[in-house]
Copies of this chain bind each other. A is one copy, B any other.
Amino acid sequence: MAKNIQDHPVLAQSSPRQALLEDYLRVRRFSEQLCVPLVTEDYVIQSMPDVSPTRWHLAHTSWFFETFVLSSYMPDYTSPHPQYAYLFNSYYNSVGERHCRPKRGLISRPTVQETYAYRRYVDECVSNFLSTCTDEALTKAAPVVTLGIHHEQQHQELMVTDIKHVLSCNPLHPVYQEQALSSTTPPSALSWISYPEQLAWIGYEGDGFFYDNEGPYHREFVDAYQLGSRLITNGEYLQFIEDGGYQNPLLWLSSGWNTVQSEQWQAPLYWEKHEGQWMMMTLSGLRPVEPTEPVCHVSYYEADAYARWADARLTTEAEWELAARQVPTEGNFVENQQFHPVPLKKTVDPIKPEQMYGDVWEWTQSAYLPYRGYHPAPGALGEYNGKFMCNQFVLRGGSCATSVTHIRPTYRNFFPPDARWQFMGIRLAREV
């Protein structure tokens, strides 16, 4: 894979119209670059209901632009494939019937080639529209184009995690990208960084893009707390395993313990024991578990149980957000093309938390609920976030599969407590 695929050229003189077009093209191109290592067969498979075939992601993101931009704002646009709407609508009840999610892997046509042709067609139409539409039309359409760009970035992350899951189902352990393991030294011991009590403003405020669930900007009272200086490592998590963590019901939420038993969990997803040695499936193939890396592919249940075992707890959303605002949005993102969390290098005792961004999403103990005063956007795009505010927990900070241009201190990701196939890890907190 070519490096620097999402670098930001200095575009001082570019107009907003041109900047939007360039953003659009850059992000669309990146989806396809992520697919360079794939063979045609890889694109087709849905390895579990949560996973979508790569081809579906490529088509669905195009359908999104077609439906919400081209059909909505481009006069006389007609789709070359109106029947795709049924196949590639994900969950928008307002725009019509759709193909059943768990059956996305039963569809062999349109082929991968036809899907790329569909992308090209949509890209040409969108480019054309953005280049030639009136300023008035642009004003209306631009927010939706921007949403579509961020939507596509979300699907890029899913493409990475879904293809990892697909490849992991194959006993031959196929490799997505060869990657040498850099030799690593243990990170410094976990320390605690303190924050005072405060009546804080939480949520997005500003002029940039944000999802509706990041607002409204509102006040919350936050007690004094301490945050773990870095992510929990595989080595630390191994101690939990070896201490019988997966055998002790008293460490677990009740539904977590039921899941451990019914799913027979013994370790994070993708870990397998081979002749007494813990191995893990990565996008670079099967490898020994590296103790210095951040632990990854743990559910909320496991993160919560680990925290209890460690005599700590997970952070709340607000605690995390207050701390994150004070550090730059830097880290191991998808642009690094590691597709895997990396060990922390620094060793001196930090005064600000490390690894807040990138590497792994950090489970918080906050349920995914509307902020006070939240109202979803009107129309179909109002189905984007709000209707999922039930039985999910918030994760923060992005991962090695997230784009650096996609993450913010206020960004709220969310998954059910038993989900593990995303790059999900653990940061601890505790009372003062």
Contact = CB atoms under 8 A, between A and B. Distances in A.
A383 B300 CA distance: 19
B45 A387 contact: no
Interface of A: 39-45, 47, 55, 83, 86-87, 91, 93-94, 99, 103, 105-112, 166-167, 169-172, 174, 199, 218-221, 223, 249-250, 252-257, 300-301, 316, 365-367, 369-370, 372-373, 383, 387-391, 417, 431
A250 B219 contact: no
A103 B249 CA distance: 21
Nearest to A225: B372
A106 B47 contact: yes
A108 B39 contact: yes
A322 B101 CA distance: 43
Given A45-B107, A253-B387, 20 more contacts: A39-B108, A39-B109, A40-B111, A41-B43, A42-B109, A44-B45, A45-B105, A45-B106, A83-B171, A106-B169, A106-B170, A109-B174, A199-B221, A219-B221, A221-B221, A255-B391, A300-B390, A301-B390, A390-B417, A391-B391
B365 A106 contact: no
B109 A172 contact: yes
Nearest to A255: B390
Contacts of A250: 93-94, 383
Nearest to A94: B250
A99 B255 CA distance: 17
Contacts of A254: 91, 387-388, 390
Residue picked from A43, A252, A372, most chain B C-beta under 10 Å: A372
A111 B41 contact: yes
A310 to B, nearest CB: 14
A41 B373 CA distance: 47
23 contacts: A39-B109, A41-B111, A41-B112, A42-B109, A44-B44, A45-B107, A45-B108, A83-B171, A83-B172, A87-B171, A99-B171, A108-B170, A219-B223, A220-B220, A223-B373, A252-B387, A253-B388, A253-B390, A254-B387, A255-B390, A257-B387, A301-B390, A391-B417
A189 to B, nearest CB: 25
Contact of A169 (B40, B103, B256, B390): B103
Given A105-B45, A108-B45, A252-B387, A171 B219 contact: no
A362 to B, nearest CB: 17
A170 B106 CA distance: 7
Contacts of A83: 171-172
A38 to B, nearest CB: 9
Contacts of A365: 369-370
A257 B87 CA distance: 20
A254 B383 CA distance: 9
A431 B106 contact: no
Contacts of A55: 41
A371 to B, nearest CB: 10
A373 B431 contact: yes
Contacts of A252: 387
A249 B45 CA distance: 29
Contacts of A174: 108-109
Contacts of A301: 390
